[in-house]
Amino acid sequence: MKYELKPWLPVLILIVLLVLFSLFFQDIKFKIYDLLGISDAWETRYSLAKLIGQHIVIVFYSGAISIVIGVILGALSLSERFKEIRILIEKAVYLFQMIPSLALLTILVPIFGMGQKTAVVALVVCGVLPVYMGVVAGVNGVPSDVIEVAEGLGMPKLRIYRQIVLPLAMPVILAGFRTSLIINVSAATLAAKIGAGGLGILLLNALKTGKTMTIIEGTIPICLLAIIFDICLKNIENIFYVERKSSN
């Protein structure tokens, strides 16, 4: 089967946009300030590229850990052996999701200290639920008659999971990953509050100085990042659908 590269074109364009933005936006901003005669004395010069890099790193770690934990919890609550504690796992995951991220950060700082590590822990707590839900909904969504027939035809359990359940649940599981990552991209702005860096620094700064340009400077890359992650994962999801549709 020939794989289409076309769906990845928007990703490329968006990455180029992001790079251009991080290279040139500050110069443009200061030019505008000069033009309007606004003092930029309070304006600190940040390397936008570095902030974006920090942001991505935080999202990457928290996303990866969320996925691992979410998948493990999902698998546990689906397995026969842990059926009794399924409700416990579920409630715990939901409960953690309900804690506001800001409150979570404040709770975690005394335990883990300031910095990136704490931010990642907080984001993982936020990011686990969508992953968990994706796994559970995906696996439960596999038609039971399909599984019954697979069993009835004498497929071993493990093979049923590998060849039937997993491929059929995959699109929903990946949708969970996607939701989790996107939540993390925006929630990662709060990381700045505890000295973990990232694009949130710009937003916090803008809150203090009241400068609209700085807000724009922080928000646009965050949105671009979210969209890039979204399209990437959507494309991966589609691979699983395309396989089922192509008939020739």
Partner 1 sequence: MIRLESIRKDYGSMTAVKDLSLEIPAGEICVLLGLSGCGKSTTLRMINKLIPPSSGHIYINGKDADEYPVEKLRQSMGYVVQSIGLFPHFTVAENIATVPRLLKWDNARLDRRIREMLMMVGLDYDTYSKKYPNELSGGEAQRVGVARALAADPPILLMDEPFGAVDPLSRKHLQNEFLKIQRELKKTVIFVTHDVEEAIKLGDKIAIMNCGELQEYDTPEGLIIRCKNQFVKDFLGSEYAIRVLARFSAGGIAHERDAKSEVCVPASENLQVALSVMIERGSSSLTVTSQDGTSVGSISIGDIVDVLRNTEN
The Cβ-side half-sphere exposure at 177, using a 13 Å CA radius, reads 21
Which residues, 6 or more positions from 112, have their beta carbon under 8 angstroms from its beta carbon?
118, 121
Task: Please choose, from the candidates 191, 215, 185, the residue with its C-alpha nearest in 3D space to the C-alpha of residue 203.
Answer: 215
Rounded distance, CA 222 to CA 234, Å?
A: 18
Rounded distance, CA 153 to CA 60, Å?
A: 42
Task: Report the interface residues with partner 1, using CB under 8 A.
Answer: 143, 145-146, 148-156, 159, 164, 167-168, 243-245, 247-248
Query: Shortest distance, CB of residue 169 to partner 1, whole angstroms?
Result: 11
Rounded distance, CA 127 to CA 68, Å?
A: 11
Q: For partner 1, which is the closer residue by CB, 16 or 149?
A: 149
Phi, psi (degrees; rounded to nearest 5) at 143 = -55, 130
Query: Shortest distance, CB of residue 186 to partner 1, whole angstroms?
Result: 34
Which residues, 6 or more positions from 118, have their beta carbon under 8 angstroms from its beta carbon?
105, 108, 109, 111, 112, 194, 196
Q: For partner 1, which is the closer residue by CB, 85 or 146?
A: 146
Tracing tokens 């040139």 back to the chain, one arrives at: 24
Q: For partner 1, which is the closer residue by CB, 39 or 247?
A: 247
Q: For partner 1, which is the closer residue by CB, 109 or 239?
A: 239
Query: Shortest distance, CB of residue 2 to partner 1, whole angstroms?
Result: 15
| Residue 231 structure tokens | 């399209």
Query: Shortest distance, CB of residue 130 to partner 1, whole angstroms?
Result: 24
Please check whether residue 221 is in contact with residue 52, taking contact to mean a CB–CB distance below 8 angstroms.
Answer: yes
Q: For partner 1, which is the closer residue by CB, 212 or 248?
A: 248
Query: Shortest distance, CB of residue 237 to partner 1, whole angstroms?
Result: 14
Q: For partner 1, which is the closer residue by CB, 168 or 185?
A: 168
Query: Shortest distance, CB of residue 171 to partner 1, whole angstroms?
Result: 10
